[in-house]
């Protein structure tokens, strides 16, 4: 297709990330309609893109570590059509006063950091107050009035959340929607896994191979290195699926929605391992939030290793990438004004983290895209 002159496509998908790929795949395979996908980047997959680091042979996730985890069997079965899985249950540690302890902070973390009698006493109080194997958000734990529990809550807040959250968002946990710190609750149990979902894995040939298979269809045409702003005047369409920032789509009419960005710095090191596990968080030290050693994902055997360090920063359009929407009441109100405009546009669908301004995990992204497709399918059937 020559997009420098006026062209018409049936379905135009802007953004070849997870949302865009799911709708493209569904429309091509279920409706038998053609789909044209554009992406401004030079590669497919959006932020799930991975590749082998040439110097070390380690498969790295270029946009930070991604573990596919879900309780939703439908989502799991859907994604499983495009990949085999390497089962992987993430275990994350945070450095607290120089000691690596499990995060989410749990009873093992408590015993690693407190004197035995004190840890045992607090453990008993936690179990009595919340029950064994439960999870409590840090902001909720801080509301307790019992002296030991309040002291523990303040300790965890200061040592695990305060510094990390300020680095990550430039805000305190209270300034953000409580769902953000609630993603990493305090666990009154001994389960060291980061996630507790039924299905947890990484694609056995990597995310890029998964992405390639998802859009490998004769009715799907892909154009990389192509900006929406460069083609929006020349391409017309029956349906548009937009997965970029929603405020950008509307030329920042109501003002810019804030997104948070990351400067992810990769380092190759001439030794077999650099750290004790996949992910080490540094809430109180350094300017980066976490260090990730990717070879742990696939148990890759290489003489050298690659790690990444994430330095959070503000998002400036054109300069860096918008990684995270920033969930807060104020930002949500601004998003809703854009959403209202969006819902008035016929045959135009806004999908994914950036267009929905939602802090989606991968499974939620897939689920939302499948739901969008199901809605269109229902409308079409109804029209027939
Ligand atoms: N968080 C924290 N300390 C940690 C881990 C997480 O304060 O050691 C907070 C922080 O605000 C972070 C949020 O919990 O942004 C969500 O963490 P998650 O690991 O889900 O972030 P993601 O992997 O999505 O960047």
- What is the Cα–Cα distance from 325 to 358, expressed in whole angstroms? 6
Instruction: Provide the β-strand partners of residue 7.
Output: 235
pLDDT digits (tens, 9 = 90+) for 332-376: 999 999 999 999 999 999 999 999 999 999 999 999 999 999 999
CB of 281 shorter than 6 A to ligand 1: yes
Q: Give the Å distance between the CA of 119 and the centre of ligand 1.
A: 25
Predicted local confidence at residue 3, as pLDDT = 65
Q: Give the Å distance between the CA of 115 and the centre of ligand 1.
A: 27
10 Å CB burial of residue 382 (0-12, 13-18, 19+) is: exposed
Predicted local confidence at residue 383, as pLDDT = 72
Predicted local confidence at residue 384, as pLDDT = 67
Backbone angles phi, psi at 284, to 5 degrees: -110, -5
What crossing angle do the helices spanning 18-26 and 207-214 adopt, rounded to 10°?
Answer: 30
Q: Long-range pairs for 145-151 at CB < 8 Å and ≥24 separation? A: 148/121, 148/122, 149/122, 149/125
Q: What single DSSP character describes residue 314?
A: E
Model-level pTM? Answer: 0.97
- Residue 109 in contact with residue 101, Cβ under 8 Å? yes
Q: How many CA atoms lie within 13 A of 154 on its CB side?
A: 8
Report domain 7-44+215-254+326-383's class: alpha beta
Predicted local confidence at residue 169, as pLDDT = 98
**Minimum-distance ligand 1 atom for the alpha carbon of 323:** 25
Q: Which stretches in the chain have pLDDT values below 50? A: none
Q: Give the Å distance between the CA of 29 and the centre of ligand 1.
A: 37
Q: Is the Cα torsion angle 101, 104, 105, 106 positive or negative in sign?
A: negative
DSSP string, 50-63: EEE-TTT--EEETT
pLDDT digits (tens, 9 = 90+) for 123-134: 999 999 999 999
Q: How many CA atoms lie within 13 A of 111 on its CB side?
A: 9
Predicted local confidence at residue 382, as pLDDT = 73
CB of 18 shorter than 6 A to ligand 1: no
- Per-domain residue ranges of the chain: 7-44+215-254+326-383, 92-188
- Residue 42 in contact with residue 208, Cβ under 8 Å? no
Q: Give the Å distance between the CA of 5 and the centre of ligand 1.
A: 46
Nearest Cα residue to atom 9 of ligand 1: 181
Helix (H, G, I), strand (E, B) or coil at 350: strand
């Amino acid at each position: 297709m020559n997009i420098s002159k006026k062209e018409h496509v049936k379905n135009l998908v802007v953004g070849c990330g997870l949302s865009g790929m799911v709708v493209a795949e569904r429309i091509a395979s279920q409706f038998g309609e053609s789909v044209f996908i554009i992406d401004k980047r030079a590669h497919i997959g959006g932020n799930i893109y991975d590749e082998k680091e040439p110097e070390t042979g380690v498969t790295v996730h270029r946009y930070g570590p991604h573990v596919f985890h879900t309780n939703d069997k439908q989502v799991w079965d859907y994604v499983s059509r495009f990949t085999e899985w390497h089962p992987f249950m993430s275990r994350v540690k945070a450095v607290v006063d120089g000691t690596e302890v499990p995060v989410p902070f749990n009873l093992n973390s408590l015993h690693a950091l407190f004197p035995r009698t004190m840890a045992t006493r607090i453990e008993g109080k936690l179990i009595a107050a919340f029950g064994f194997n439960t999870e409590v958000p840090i902001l909720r734990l801080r509301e307790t009035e019992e002296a030991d529990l309040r002291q523990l809550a303040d300790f965890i807040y200061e040592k695990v959340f305060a510094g990390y959250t300020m680095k990550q968002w430039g805000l305190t946990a209270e300034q953000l929607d409580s769902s953000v710190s609630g993603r990493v609750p305090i666990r009154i149990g001994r389960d060291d896994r980061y996630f507790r979902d039924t299905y947890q894995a990484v694609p056995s040939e990597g995310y890029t191979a998964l992405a390639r298979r998802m859009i490998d269809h004769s009715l799907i045409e892909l154009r990389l290195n192509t900006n929406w702003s460069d083609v929006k005047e020349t391409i017309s369409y029956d349906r548009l699926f937009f997965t970029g920032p929603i405020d950008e789509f509307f030329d920042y009419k109501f003002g810019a929605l804030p997104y948070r960005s990351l400067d992810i710095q990769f380092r190759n090191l001439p030794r077999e391992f650099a750290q004790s596990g996949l992910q080490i968080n540094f809430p109180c030290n350094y300017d980066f939030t976490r260090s990730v050693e990717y070879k742990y994902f696939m148990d890759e055997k290489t003489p050298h290793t690659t790690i990444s360090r994430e330095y959070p920063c503000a998002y400036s359009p054109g300069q860096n990438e918008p990684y995270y929407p920033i969930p807060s009441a104020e930002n949500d109100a601004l998003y809703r004004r854009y959403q209202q405009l969006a819902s008035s546009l016929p045959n135009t669908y806004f999908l994914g983290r950036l267009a929905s301004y939602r802090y989606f995990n991968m499974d939620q992204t897939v689920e939302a895209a499948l739901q969008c497709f199901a809605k269109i399918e229902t409308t079409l059937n109804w029209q027939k």
